[in-house]
Amino acid sequence: MNRQSTPFTRFWNEFRENRIAVLALSIVVLLALLALFASFVSPQNPYDLANLSLMDSRRPPGFVGTGGYTHWLGTDPQGRDLLSAIFYGLRISIQIGLAAGFVSLSIGAALGILAAYIGGRVENLIMRLVDLQLSFPAILLALVIVALLGQGKVQLISALVAAQYAYFARTAYGAAKAERGKDYIEAAVATPLGSRLVILKHLLPNCTPPLIVVATVQIANSISLEATLSFLGLGLPVTEPSLGMLISNGFPYMMSGRYWISVYPGVALIILIVAINIVGDQVRDQFNPRLRR
Amino acid sequence: MTETVLSVKNLTTHFFTRSGVVKAVDNVSFDLAKGEIMGLVGESGSGKTVTGFSLLGLVDEPGRIVSGSITLKDKALTSLSNAELRRWRGREISMIFQDPIATLNPVLTIGRQMRLAIAAHERTSARAAEDRATDLLSKVGIPSARARLDAYPHEFSGGMRQRVAIAIALLHRPSVIIADEPTTALDVSIQAQILQQMRVLAAETGTAMIWISHDLAVVSSLASKLAVMYAGRIVEQGPTATLLRNPRHPYTAGLMNSLPAMTKPGTPLKQIPGTTPSLLSLPPGCPFAPRCQRATAQCQHDPELTIHGDRGWRCFDPVGHMDEVSS
Amino acid sequence: MLGFIIQRFLQAIGVMAVMSLIVFCGVYAIGNPIDIVIPPEATQDLRDEVIRRLGLDRPLYEQYFIFLVNLLKGDLGRSFVYNIPVLELIGGRLPATLELVLISVVSASVIGVSLGIYAGYRPESWTAKTIMAASVLGFSVPSFWVGLILILTFAVNLGWLPAGGRGATIDIWGVAWSFPTLDGLSHIILPAINLALFKLAMMIRLARAGTREIMLTDTIKFARAAGLSEITILRQHLLKLISIPIITVFGLELGSTLAFAVVTETIFSWPGVGKLIIDSIAVLDRPVMVAYLILVAFLFVTINFVIDLIFALIDPRVRRGAAS
């Protein structure tokens, strides 16, 4: 019982008990590393057109192409090695998921805490808007914004942020509001230390656990949403395909039995999203005091 | 000798949590005679509520009764299956909870909830069920009872809701009712009314009662005998009058000294120093020793419950004096 | 009760007004549809003429005002692309979408709530763990991917079911429906499963979380202490308590499924409004986009309004509270 026990080690020890969650976490880390070092682990640079040969296009898994190496997962219509394309695609998907997640987190948390802190009309205005938006499906919003802004990474991330910040705002607001109502906060506001300290020292820390939970889920959602938009042809430019784009490119060939072009990137995408969600589930359960034993 | 309805022997209930085994109820034994009211007193976390739930066989996961026996009217409840146990709950043994707002279902009418409780054990006509429900509601002091059957819980005050809950617990005239601090959440004036009513009802129906409370004053006005719990065990038990006149366990004595009535007005209340120990990491030996001014080296060992006539305590060095042992 | 209804009704109208403004500004403030409507080689005069005819030369607030007046008259403009009234265009496609959405949401809710209650009631059982694992999968896997796999498996490899289209339809009250015909039904199965899976996972999680919390309350303990059987507790107490959050979510899901139908309809070439909006977005057909978004907003507001009413009927606290 007398082990060194910081909140983090306690959290980790509890996390470790769920073996599936640990497996999921290692998969997330592994995929992130593969994405990070895509250029070292890929047999081919799929973005370098000089590397590609149409002779190699749409070849089945295990085919040895003009490059002299085996395409373990086959090739796509442009003759890209699918394994390499998946690594690079992972990189883009994770990048966009993280970027959209963090921007939404910052904007949402700031709005939510501010609404809870200031109260009154500002609170009403912000939360009404957030609720209104929450009742509206995120995918539609993202769809319309992407359609209006055009294609590109920044545009896509903006669309994802616009579609998702409201979840963070609602969460932060709920947690901050509950804390704001407590007497000690009222007392702290009245001291000359003032509002900044209250927000930083009391409101923010209390919002952190639920925000972390929402963040895990929303990063997975961003990745999934990005893939969906790309699949609908509204995502990123074709030159740097994300996983969703790879799947979309393979869709027409599916009917003729060339399943691998869509299926393998899809499998990678699903493993990534499912793993993040399992980790998120475990974190949520650990943060939920009502389910604590 | 009156007939014993409930006999509890060495009841032990543990919670197997992530952080270790919580010994919520440890070797608890007592007998309850027909129509008798027993007070079960202790601080929060002393295991009194878990004792109540153990008697009903309703201990939540991850807890369970590890050992001991519960005998209700010659039936060993601890050996019954869940389905058999269910047929005893509500009919022979029932329970009232602390918070009347949380116990009744907010989206069902009072009448519906009472009919469900009747139907759990008997097949009656709707008419008969309604009569029975009305009868009990009036008995517990709810005016124009028949009309209130169609009302929802939120249309009653807290005290009225508790009366409804009591009526539900009494529907089948059980042999034993466990009342888990049913008046704590209520106003003092209503508290007194309900106490009085419970006493009358119990006497009328011959129902024995276990009144769980942290408030020695409330319990002693009601119960004919007391059991004081500390850290999951009964540290002292006996008839209310003699126990209060001459407490033997230092903890009981401390509880009594801290009562406002025992203190001269204007002087500070006497408290027992220290706090209740965590049931996760009980010290070896007597669990009260760290807070006990009389603790000596032998308190490193756990004292057994020693029986002295109609009283009993767990202490090597009891306070007070020996009673003249009555037969 | 009447006061409550009126109050909610006014609220709904307020929300609609805000939504129409947001949608209008959102769609109109950005992008230039002129380049799509007329060929780039057109003369400047022709451009100006078209801009004037479409009312695009006026200030935004004036455009909004005209739009609003027309909206109240039931006129949402003409599609730039199809050149027919937008309402007619959408109205023709709506039954296909409604049919798909209703079948999906209802089946997802019935199955999902049952599984979720079980998983919440016996959280440690293997069945519950399997259900939950499956729901994580259903929750995580993007809808379009499930659609692809369904097509690959049941249409391409097994050849049991068609991969797209609506199949044979029957006219009821002048509207074409697929579900009454066997061929139509076979066409609807795959897209309906596709659309239902995500909702199913969601319903399972919701019902499970609700069940777990309710089962720990004193209400349930008290019912048990009164000797009620588990089945009675589940049927009478739990179901009644859990139905309030479930109905809320059911309504919201009806709306969001309508939105998600966009993806499913695209994959399965289902000729509903979702497919229409994707096509319209691709060519920036503004009136169709605006009309569609307003329609979705309208459905959302209506659903919320209806839920509030149902809520008041189920929950006595709201009902009596509103009456007094």
pLDDT tens digits for range B27-61: 999 999 988 999 999 888 888 999 999 999 988 88
CA distance C172 to chain A (A): 30
Rg, C-alpha atoms of chain B? 21
Distance CA B203, CA B196 (A): 11
Question: Which of residues 94 through 123 in chain C touch B, CB cutoff 8 A?
Answer: none
How many Å is the Cα radius of gyration of chain C?
24
Q: Which of B59, B96, B110, B116 to mutate to test the interface with C (most CBs of C within 10 A)?
A: B116
B97 touches chain C (CB under 8 A): yes
C175 is a domain residue: yes
Rounded to an integer, the average pLDDT of C178-197 is 82
- What pLDDT does residue A2 have? 45
Answer whether C15 touches A (CB < 8 Å).
yes
A28-39+74-291: CATH topology is: MetI-like fold (1.10.3720)
Q: Which residues of chain A have pLDDT under 50?
A: 1-2, 292-293
| Integer Cα distance of C119 and C209 in angstroms | 9
In-domain check, residue C134 = yes
In the prediction, which pLDDT does A64 show?
Answer: 67
B94 touches chain C (CB under 8 A): yes
C224–B107 C-beta distance less than 8 A: no
In chain C, how long is the greatest CA-to-CA distance?
86
Neighbours of C157 (CB within 10 A): 11
- Cα A17 from Cα C130, distance rounded (Å): 18
C37 within domain boundaries:
no
Q: What is the pLDDT of residue B227?
A: 94
Instruction: At B249, list the tokens.
Output: 């366990």
Length of chain B: 327
Residue bearing tokens 């389905």? B83
**Contact between chains at B18 and A293 (C-beta distance less than 8 A):** yes
Q: How far is C203 from chain B (nearest CA, A)?
A: 22
Across the interface, whether the CB atoms of C143 and A270 are under 8 A apart is answered no
Neighbouring residues of C8: CB distance < 8 A, sequence distance ≥ 6: C305, C308, C309
- Find the CB nearest C136 among A262, A277, A290: A277
Contacts 24+ apart (CB under 8 A), C161-165: C161/C186, C161/C187, C161/C189, C161/C190, C162/C186, C162/C187, C162/C190, C163/A255, C163/C190, C163/C268, C164/C267, C164/C268, C164/C269, C164/C270, C165/C268, C165/C269, C165/C270, C165/C271
Q: Which residue among C244, C314, C316 places its CB closest to the CB of B154?
A: C316
Domain that holds residue C124: 95-287
**Which residues does chain A have within 8 Å of residue C305's beta carbon, measured at their own beta carbons?**
none
For an interface test with C, which of A93, A139, A148 has the most C Cβ atoms less than 10 Å from its Cβ? A148
Cβ B62–A14 below 8 Å, yes or no?
A: no
* Residue A253 CB-half CA count within 13 A: 19
Q: What's the maximum distance between 2 C-alpha atoms anywhere in chain A? A: 74
Q: Residue C309: inside a domain, yes or no?
A: no
**B254 vs B236: CA distance, rounded Å:** 12
Q: Is residue C58 part of a domain?
A: no
Host H or E run for residue A222: helix A204-231
What backbone torsions phi and psi does residue C22 show, to the nearest 5 degrees?
-60, -50
Question: What radius of gyration, in Å, describes the C-alpha atoms of chain A?
Answer: 23
Cα nearest neighbour of B20 on chain A: A1
What pLDDT is recorded for position C323?
41
Q: Which residues pair with B9 in a beta bridge?
A: B69
Smallest CA–CA separation between A27 and chain C, in Å? 15
- Which pLDDT band holds residue C277 (cuts at 50, 70, 90)? confident
Instruction: Look at residue C34 and tell me whether its pLDDT is greater than 70.
Output: no
Nearest to A282 by CA among A224, A216, A223: A216
Question: Is the Cα torsion angle B27, B31, B35, B39 positive or negative in sign?
Answer: negative
The dihedrals phi and psi of A150, each to the nearest 5 degrees, come to 95, 180
Q: How far apart are CA A197 and CA A139, in angstroms?
A: 37
Measured distance CA(A289)–CA(B13) in Å, rounded:
23
Q: What is the DSSP letter of A75?
A: B
Q: Look at residue C166 and tell me whether its pLDDT is greater than 80.
A: no
CATH number of the domain residue C263 falls in: 1.10.3720.10
- Taking the C-alpha atoms of residue C79 and residue C271, their distance in angstroms, rounded to an integer, is 17
Would the CB atoms of B94 and C241 count as touching at under 8 Å?
no
Cα–Cα distance measured from residue B163 to residue B267, given in angstroms and rounded to the nearest whole number: 38
* Helix/strand/coil (H/E/C) assignment for every residue in chain C: CHHHHHHHHHHHHHHHHHHHHHHHHHHHHCCCCHHHHCCCCCCHHHHHHHHHHCCCCCCHHHHHHHHHHHHHCCCCCECCCCCCEHHHHHHHHHHHHHHHHHHHHHHHHHHHHHHHHHHHHCCCCHHHHHHHHHHHHHHHCCHHHHHHHHHHHHHHHCCCCCCCCCCCCEEECCEEECCCCHHHHHHHHHHHHHHHHHHHHHHHHHHHHHHHHHHCCHHHHHHHHCCCCHHHHHHHHHHHHHHHHHHHHHHHHHHHHHHHHHHHHHHCCCCCHHHHHHHHHHCCCHHHHHHHHHHHHHHHHHHHHHHHHHHHHHCHHHHHHHHC
Please indicate whether, in this complex, the C-beta atoms of B94 and C217 are within 8 angstroms of each other: no
pLDDT in tens, A114-138: 888 887 888 888 887 887 777 777 7
Contact C142 A136 (CB under 8 A): no
**Nearest Cβ partner of C15 from A132, A149, A254?**
A132
Instruction: Check CB contact under 8 Å for C144 and A231.
Output: yes
Question: Treating both helix axes as pointing N-terminal to C-terminal, what angle do A7-16 and A19-36 enclose, rounded to 10 degrees?
Answer: 110
Question: Is pLDDT above 80 for C304?
Answer: no
Interface check for B107 against chain C (CB to CB < 8 A): the answer is yes
Q: How far is C148 from chain A (nearest CA, A)?
A: 8
C31: chain A residues, CB-CB within 8 Å = 148
User: In this predicted complex, what is the ipTM?
Assistant: 0.88
Buried b (16+ CB within 10 A) or exposed e, A29-39: eebeebbeebe
H/E stretch holding A63:
strand A63-64
Of C206, A192, C155, C236, nearest to B119 (Cα)? C236
Q: What is the pLDDT of residue C187?
A: 84
β-bridge partners, B208: B176
Residues in chain A: 293
Q: Can you state the angle between helices C86-121 and C239-267, rounded to 10 degrees? A: 130
Q: Which stretch, C189-193, C280-284, C289-293, C318-322, has highest mean pLDDT? A: C189-193
SS3 of residue B176 by DSSP: strand
- Give a yes or no: residue C307 inside a domain: no
Select from C229, C230, C314 the Cβ nearest to the Cβ of B107: C314
pLDDT of residue C320: 55
pLDDT for the residue A293: 43
The number of domains in chain C is: 1
CB contact under 8 A, A135 and C300: yes
Query: For tokens 């059982």, what's the residue?
Result: C125
Q: Is C220 on the interface with A (CB under 8 A)?
A: no
* A132 to C262: CB separation less than 8 angstroms, yes or no: no
Integer CA distances (angstroms), B248 to A261, B218, B228, B234, B253, in order: 83, 20, 11, 13, 7
Per-position pLDDT tens, chain B of length 327: 578 899 999 999 999 987 788 889 989 999 999 889 999 998 888 889 999 999 999 888 888 899 999 999 888 888 888 888 899 998 999 999 988 888 999 888 999 999 999 999 988 898 999 999 999 899 888 888 888 999 989 889 888 999 999 999 989 989 999 999 888 878 888 888 888 888 888 888 889 999 999 888 888 888 999 999 998 899 999 999 999 888 999 999 888 888 777 777 777 777 787 777 777 777 788 888 888 888 888 888 888 888 888 899 998 888 877 765 544
Task: Give C-chain residues touching B95 at CB under 8 angstroms.
Answer: 222, 225
C236 and B94 in contact by Cβ < 8 A?
no
Give contacts of A266 with chain C, Cβ < 8 Å. Answer: 145, 148-149
Which residue, C243, C166, C246, is CA-closest to C199? C246
pLDDT of residue C160: 83
Helix (H) or strand (E) holding B15: strand B4-17
Q: Which residue of C has its CA nearest to A144?
A: C281
Alpha-carbon gap, residue A230 to A226, rounded angstroms: 6
Residue C322, pLDDT > 50, answer no
Nearest CA in chain C to B121: C227
Mutate to test the interface with B, among C219, C220, C235, C243 (most CBs of B within 10 A): C219
Residue C317 placed within a domain: no
* Chain Cα centroid distance, residue B107: 28
Confidence at residue C174, expressed as pLDDT on a 0 to 100 scale: 66
CB within 8 Å: C30 and A132: no
Q: Tell me the chain C residues in contact with residue B106 when contact means C-beta distances shorter than 8 Å.
A: 219, 241, 315-317
Higher-confidence residue of C134 and C61: namely: C134
Q: Residue C180 domain-assigned?
A: yes
Contact A254 C293 (CB under 8 A): no
Pairwise CA distance, residues A56 & A54, whole Å: 5
The chains found to touch A (3+ Cβ pairs under 8 angstroms) are: B, C
